[in-house]
Amino acid sequence: MRSSKLIFLLIFSLLGFLENLEAKADSEFSLLVHFRKYSHHNPFQKGTPYQKRIPAIRLDERTALALLKPGEVPLFAEIHPEESAGRKAYFQKVDLDTGLGIVLLPENFGRSKKASPIALLEEGVRTQGTCSSFFTNFEWGSLEFSKSILPLSKLSRKENQDGTRSFLYSGKKVCGFTDGTWNAGADLLRRFYQSRFSSASPFPHPGFSAEGSLTPAEEDYYFPKGSVGAVVSEVLPGIGPMHNLFPGDAVLSVNGTPVASKQKQVLYDILLSKGGSYLNSGEWVTLSLYRDGRKREIRYQLRPYNEDSFLIPESSDKIAPKYIIAGGLLFTELTHTYLKEYGEKYKSSSDRKLVYLAESYSKKLHPERSRIVLLSRAFPDEKNRAYQEFQDLILESVNDKVVDSVEGLKAAISENKDEFLIFRFSGNKLAVFDKSELKSLDERIKSLYSLDSLDNIR
């Protein structure tokens, strides 16, 4: 009797497994996505093309949702590339930080014999049906290679090292997706799909980091007597309420709801959700603070994570870095990716000052600059022979005008009315060019090295 019952359970489990496989085969299809990989040391190069297959599901007649990796910038995709005339599909929207992408399918895709049916996104995945088995715990966290704070379920053990993503299924419904470390629910997919006509990510970031592990003495210092909360440790420029919120501020309540806990998870829960629903980017929140012995209130708008305002962004080798060539000197902007191109031991093999700046100014603003502009190296020519040993120097100014970005450098050169251009670098090094000679030098460099353009600033 016991053996027959065991056989029945095994058959039942096998049927469920086969059903999930069938559901995956029905609603999921593969896209061959085309990318370009760029070099931050050689930003003038077109980039090396490469392709890889990405899982996707169709959410309506013309729209699919694809699982990219954070930081990947796709060019286009091919549907059924094994056919002699693989049809192209284009990305309507990509969230670089979460890696979710919306794909516009060809008009006749729905009538194709190989067209996948429209996928069904499960609702209430955390509490209803078999989808709940994927979400045995809940916490606010960040997907692999991402900085966005999302409601996720962490796996008991890491299933892969490279963050490869796949959809999660129960029967014929999509429960969400996994990156091998975290499971994300279908509610995130639905929120992103609903934001497809907006350029912004729907997933807000708190805009600041908070410290919950405080000693009793620290609690007495930061909080009024009898209060509990979280102390701000860092405010992210361009995301959080800079100039209104400061490290050391004690957050007592959010939108009138007391934090009442030292746990960061509690703070995120009342900051990023309300009444059981998750807040989207663009919504307003009010923080009640305690600072310098006084209670204060600030109100700010939730924004998605981005590094546009960081002095030294992380950046990515999937994104074309900005550059300009003047006098045969190659200028670009300092990013963490630029340094990491020196190899795994970049902290010892690259310029120590640049490494120090990258670590010190990570996620920070600068009072004068929006970016640090580097002279990466010189293209050898007789007219710039004196500067051919210049490498990885910080550009301070052009004719005493402070340079705050590559765009600012281009403007400083084009707007300069003097006879000479004087580039001043860190270490009090100078490069001086006669403006009439500089133009012919750059044209010669462009021809000699077969460059498409002397800059990529638009």
What is the tens place of the pLDDT at every residue in 365-420? 888 889 999 999 999 999 999 999 999 999 999 999 999 999 999 999 999 999 99
Dihedral of CA atoms 271, 276, 282, 287 in degrees, nearest 10, equals -30
Verify that 343 and 434 share a domain, yes or no.
Answer: yes
CATH code, domain with 419: 3.20.190.20
CB atoms within 10 A of CB 199: 6
Q: End of a domain among 121, 155, 178?
A: 121
The conformation of residue 323, written as its DSSP 8-state character, comes to E
Question: Is residue 258 a contact partner of residue 252, using CB atoms and an 8 Å limit?
Answer: yes
Phi and psi for 109 in degrees, rounded to 5? -60, -40
The conformation of residue 264, written as its DSSP 8-state character, comes to H
Q: How many domains does the chain have?
A: 3
Verify that 362 and 287 share a domain, yes or no.
Answer: no
191 within a domain of the structure (yes/no)? no
**What confidence score (pLDDT) does residue 18 get?**
40
Q: End of a domain among 75, 95, 121?
A: 121
Segments forming the whole domain that contains residue 273: 208-302
Which among 111, 112, 113, 116 is positioned nearest to 58, based on CA atoms? 116
For 203-258, give the DSSP string. Answer: --B-SEEEE----HHHHHHHS-TT---EEEEEE-TTTS-TTTS-TTPEEEEETTEE
Verify that 289 and 336 share a domain, yes or no.
Answer: no
Question: Is residue 210 a contact partner of residue 232, using CB atoms and an 8 Å limit?
Answer: yes
Verify that 336 and 385 share a domain, yes or no.
Answer: yes
6 within a domain of the structure (yes/no)? no
284 conformational bin, left if phi > 0, alpha if psi -120 to 50, beta if neither? beta
Question: Is residue 354 a contact partner of residue 375, using CB atoms and an 8 Å limit?
Answer: no
Verify that 291 and 354 share a domain, yes or no.
Answer: no
**What confidence score (pLDDT) does residue 366 get?**
87
Which amino acid is present at 224? P
Verify that 289 and 374 share a domain, yes or no.
Answer: no
Verify that 105 and 57 share a domain, yes or no.
Answer: yes
Buried b (16+ CB within 10 A) or exposed e, 236-264: bbebbbbeebeeebbbbbbeeeebeebeb
The conformation of residue 187, written as its DSSP 8-state character, comes to H
291 within a domain of the structure (yes/no)? yes
**What confidence score (pLDDT) does residue 124 get?**
75
What confidence tens digit (pLDDT) does each residue in 196-254 have?
999 999 999 999 999 878 888 998 999 999 898 999 999 999 999 999 999 999 999 99
Write out residues in the chain with pLDDT < 50, as ranges.
Answer: 1-2, 5-23, 25
Which among 131, 135, 169 is positioned nearest to 55, based on CA atoms? 169
359 within a domain of the structure (yes/no)? yes
**What confidence score (pLDDT) does residue 84 get?**
54
Beta strand pairing call for 393-398 and 420-425: antiparallel
CATH code, domain with 253: 2.30.42.10
CATH code, domain with 49: 2.40.10
202 within a domain of the structure (yes/no)? no
Q: End of a domain among 121, 141, 158?
A: 121
Query: Which residues have C-beta within 8 Å of that of residue 146, sequence separation ≥ 6?
Result: 70, 97, 98, 99
Verify that 411 and 334 share a domain, yes or no.
Answer: yes
